[in-house]
Amino acid sequence: MRRLLNVVRVVFVVVVAGVVAVHQFYIDHRSSGSGASVNFVPLDGATSSAQAPSSTQPASAASAPKLTAIPHQPPTRQVKTFTVMLDPGHAGTDLALPDKVTVGGHTYMVLDHDYPNTPEITEVWNVSKLVANVLAAHGIRVVWSKSSANADLTPPSQRATGPGELWRKAQAAITNHVDLAVSIHDDHTAGSSFAPVFTQGSLSPSQLWRADESGHQITLAQIAGSGAATLASQSQQCGQLIAQARTAAEGRASIVATNDFSGRGSGIAPGNMPWVMMFGAAGQVPWVYTEYGAKSGINLSAYATGIANGILACRAQVNGL
């Protein structure tokens, strides 16, 4: 029995000595600086390497990783201003002038004919001013195809040689880098069911055309080239949105349609695309052309509201602004 107690005492002493030795080794090992390196990632994005804190003393403020608050940064993306050209229909003087259209190395002579049409010329100018007020209030930059209802763009010195009014309106859109051009018209020979919106995408670009003075058909696909499909899609989407907004504002159906210039008389070439839209396509300008059947009168406010709301929808959906 006494021998057994002696054995237990010896074993106990050995175990205690071992524990003390292991503990001391652990302390020595930790304090010797051989611990694993830990990478801390401060909030400022820089990566710094720091030793794990010693188990024998708390980490000091100096040895702790520095945390830097991320300062507020304004958005770096430049938000593009959406620009619209408003084109109130017609000119103050009857001008039928030659324009040159070059396609595939061949130059075609076309007749650019614009003229005063009353009372339309004043009515659509007033509609356009109402539209402009709404667009400007929503941060849209508005440019104009002319300076007043009866203004002409062609100087007297060029009224025999051209280019004409429609070409000059298109050039105004191109040089101002507009995101959308909208021609605004009304028709006092058409009834209240007439509320079309014409686009550069109502048919395929190869099916939208206008004739030159010899009767040769010039297509939108030829004018717009490789950008024709994109141009047609943008015009069509904006035209549909304007038609929807007009339907809501005017209380009558407005739809995207294809124009028809056949049988319109001398000075108006056959085809299904207004020249101003064809000329604009040369500069990749999406264009929409609206009409309003005004035989029984015209509601200027409703017409303007529909056009303005459609343009706002176009900016949001098609251009993401």
DSSP string, 220-275: HHHHHGGGHHHHHHHHHHHHHHHHHHHHHHHSS---EE----TT--TT---BSS-H
- Per-residue model confidence as pLDDT tens digits over 48-58: 333 333 333 33
pLDDT band at 4 (very low <50, low <70, confident <90, very high): very low
Domain that holds residue 227: 83-317
pLDDT band at 80 (very low <50, low <70, confident <90, very high): confident
Better-predicted residue by pLDDT, 10 or 150 = 150
Domain presence at residue 70: no
Cis peptide, bond prior to residue 88, ω within 30 of zero: no
Which has the closest alpha carbon to 192: 143, 229, 247, 239? 247
Domain presence at residue 237: yes
| Total residue count of the chain as it appears in this document | 321
pLDDT band at 79 (very low <50, low <70, confident <90, very high): low
The answer to whether 69 touches 45, Cβ cutoff 8 Å, is no
**Structure tokens belonging to residue 227:** 């950008």
User: pTM of this prediction?
Assistant: 0.76
Domain presence at residue 120: yes
- Per-residue model confidence as pLDDT tens digits over 214-273: 999 999 999 999 999 999 999 999 999 999 999 999 999 999 999 999 988 878 999 999
Domain presence at residue 26: no
Domain presence at residue 19: no
How many Cα atoms occupy the beta-carbon half-sphere of 285 within 13 Å? 30
Q: What is the pLDDT of residue 9?
A: 53
Q: What is the pLDDT of residue 228?
A: 97
Domain count, the chain: 1
Q: What is the pLDDT of residue 169?
A: 97
Q: What 3-state DSSP class applies to 281?
A: helix
Residue 44 pLDDT greater than 60, yes or no: no
Domain presence at residue 10: no
Q: Which amino acid does the sequence have at 159?
A: R
Q: What is the CATH number of the domain that holds 267?
A: 3.40.630.40
- Per-residue model confidence as pLDDT tens digits over 157-204: 999 899 999 999 999 999 999 999 999 999 999 999 999 999 999 999
- Per-residue model confidence as pLDDT tens digits over 13-36: 444 455 444 444 343 443 444 333
Domain presence at residue 12: no
The predicted model gives 79-83 an average pLDDT of: 83
* CB-based burial, 116-152: b 16+ in 10 Å, e otherwise: bbeebbebbbbbbbbbbebbeeeebebbbbbeebeeb
User: What is the residue whose two structure tokens read 């103050």?
Assistant: 92
User: What is the residue whose two structure tokens read 């084109």?
Assistant: 87
Domain presence at residue 4: no
Q: What is the pLDDT of residue 3?
A: 52
